C-alpha cells in the first residue's frame, strides 16, 4: 500500500478542521454570528465586536459565510494559510490523479479536462484566501467565481472518469459514491447561490449554511482519491517526468508487441 494515499486523506482533514477553527475564532472575537442564529436586523446601535450579553444584534455583515469568517485578523491570517496550503495540496492531488490514470489506463479527454479544471480551481482558491471580501471585494468574488464552478466541474468529470475506468465491483462502488457526492454538492451550490442574492435575512443565512455544506462535500470528495492512490508508485511519477503523451505511446507500443507475439508471422507458422 502506497504512502501517497495519506495525501488525499490529509486534504479534507486539514481544510475542514481549519475552516471550523477559523469560524470558532471569528465567533469568539464576535466578528460573525453563530450558525444557529437566524435573527438579523437592518442596523444595530453598536457593532457586533463591541456588544456584550447573551443576546447579540446581528446584521447581514455578520452572516457566517466562510469568507466572512476569515475577513478580520487574527482569523484572516489563519484563513489565508489554510487556503494557500489547501490549494497546493489540490494541485498535487490533481496532478497525481492525472498521472495515475495514464499509468493504469491511458490518457483521455476527461483526464486532461480534470487536470485543467482542478488547477484552475486551485488558483481561484488562492485568490479567495488572500483577498478578503471586505477589503478586496472584486478580486475575492473573481476568485470565488472561478473556484466554485470549477470545483463542481472537477468532481463531475472525475465521477464520469471513474465510471469509464471501472472494472471491479469496488471501482463501481466508488463511482456510485462519487456521483452521489457530486449531486449533493451541485444542489448545495445552486441553493447557496440562489439564496445569496435574495433580500431575505433567513435565506441569506441559509446560503451560508449551504456554502459550508458544499465545501465540506468537495473536500471529502478529494479524500476518496485515497482509493486510487493506494496503488501509486514511483512509476506513476515517471509518467509525469516522461510526459503523458510519451507514456501513452509507450503503452501502445507494448500492446502492439504483445499482439505481435500472440500472432507470429505466417512464415514462422509454416516452419
pLDDT digits (tens, 9 = 90+) for 141-199: 999 999 999 999 999 999 999 999 999 999 999 999 999 999 999 999 999 999 999 98
| pLDDT band at 258; cut points 50, 70, 90 | very low
**pTM of the predicted model over 0.85:** yes
Q: Where are the domains of the chain?
A: 3-225
| pLDDT band at 30; cut points 50, 70, 90 | very high
Q: Residue 33, SS3?
A: coil
**Closest to 175 measured CA to CA, from 212, 221, 116:** 221
pLDDT for the residue 244:
56
| pLDDT band at 234; cut points 50, 70, 90 | confident
| pLDDT band at 112; cut points 50, 70, 90 | very high
Q: How many CB atoms lie within 10 A of CB 17?
A: 11
pLDDT for the residue 267:
42
Distance from C-alpha of 43 to C-alpha of 143, rounded to nearest angstrom: 29
Residue 13, all three cell numbers: 482533514
> What mean pLDDT do residues 218-244 have?
87
Amino acid at each position: 500500500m502506497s504512502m501517497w494515499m495519506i495525501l488525499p486523506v490529509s486534504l479534507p482533514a486539514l481544510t475542514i478542521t481549519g475552516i471550523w477553527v477559523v469560524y470558532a475564532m471569528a465567533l469568539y472575537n464576535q466578528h460573525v454570528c453563530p450558525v444557529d442564529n437566524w435573527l438579523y436586523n437592518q442596523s444595530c446601535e453598536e457593532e457586533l465586536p463591541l456588544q456584550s450579553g447573551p443576546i447579540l444584534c446581528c446584521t447581514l455583515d455578520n452572516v457566517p459565510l466562510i469568507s466572512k469568517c476569515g475577513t478580520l485578523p487574527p482569523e484572516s491570517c489563519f484563513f489565508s494559510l489554510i487556503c494557500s496550503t489547501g490549494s497546493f495540496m489540490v494541485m498535487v492531488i490533481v496532478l497525481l490523479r492525472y498521472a495515475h490514470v495514464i499509468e493504469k489506463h491511458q490518457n483521455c479527454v476527461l483526464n486532461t479536462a480534470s487536470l485543467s479544471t482542478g488547477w484552475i480551481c486551485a488558483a481561484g482558491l488562492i485568490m479567495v484566501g488572500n483577498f478578503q471580501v471586505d477589503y478586496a471585494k472584486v478580486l475575492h468574488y473573481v476568485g470565488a467565481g472561478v473556484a466554485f464552478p470549477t470545483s463542481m466541474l472537477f468532481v463531475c468529470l472525475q465521477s464520469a472518469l471513474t465510471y469509464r475506468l471501472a472494472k471491479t465491483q469496488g471501482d463501481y462502488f466508488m463511482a456510485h459514491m462519487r456521483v452521489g457526492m457530486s449531486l449533493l454538492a451541485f444542489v448545495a451550490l445552486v441553493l447557496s447561490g440562489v439564496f445569496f442574492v435574495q433580500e431575505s435575512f433567513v435565506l441569506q443565512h441559509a446560503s451560508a449554511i449551504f456554502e459550508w455544506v458544499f465545501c465540506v462535500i468537495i473536500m471529502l470528495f478529494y479524500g476518496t482519491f485515497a482509493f486510487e492512490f493506494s496503488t501509486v508508485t514511483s512509476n506513476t511519477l515517471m509518467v509525469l517526468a516522461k510526459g503523458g503523451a510519451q507514456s501513452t505511446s509507450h503503452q501502445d507500443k507494448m500492446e502492439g508487441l504483445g499482439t505481435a507475439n500472440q500472432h507470429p508471422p505466417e512464415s514462422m507458422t509454416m516452419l
